[in-house]
Amino acid sequence: MSQFEETTEGITVRVESFYLEDQSEPSDDHYVWAYRVEVENNGEAVVQLLTRHWVITDSTGKTQEIRGDGVVGHQPVLEPGQSFEYTSGTPLATPSGFMSGSYQMIDDGGRQFDAIVPAFSLDSPFQEKALH
């Protein structure tokens, strides 16, 4: 389990992914992961997370994009020094892939910007390992 981190304009996004063996059916090409995200405001302004944009890519290169309001039903407001953490999940038809994305933020002055979600891997025990 690895942690991935990216900071954009004072907003730090940390992500960890977990393979969910109990929800996966490899014989049916159904693999499921959970991912935990922490969004931390290390800036000086109050910010709100407005929308999310995910790019999910499986090991064949098939990509799907997901856009929507907030995260897990929330559009959290973060004071300087505060953080918000949530867990969500995604299925794939292949035993590995990766995700990346961004959160559209707005600060208390009305300025909007995208906080980058770092690319993170979705690996299962069913993925063949390659030595380089």
Assigned domain for 87 exists: yes
Domains: count for the chain: 1
53 within a domain of the structure (yes/no)? yes
What CATH number is given to the structural domain containing 45? 2.60.40.1470
User: Is residue 86 domain-resident?
Assistant: yes
Does residue 130 lie in a domain region?
no
| Segments forming the whole domain that contains residue 40 | 3-118
pLDDT tens per residue across span 24-34: 999 999 999 99
| Domain membership flag for residue 31 | yes
Per-residue pLDDT band at 132 (split at 50, 70, 90): very low
In the predicted structure, residue 108 carries a pLDDT above the cut 60? yes
Q: Quick check: 4 and 15 in contact, CB under 8 A?
A: yes
Whether 128 is in a domain gets the answer no
Q: Give a yes or no: residue 37 inside a domain.
A: yes
Q: Residue 32 domain-assigned?
A: yes
Q: Is the pLDDT of residue 41 over 80?
A: yes
Is it the case that residue 117 has pLDDT exceeding 50?
A: yes
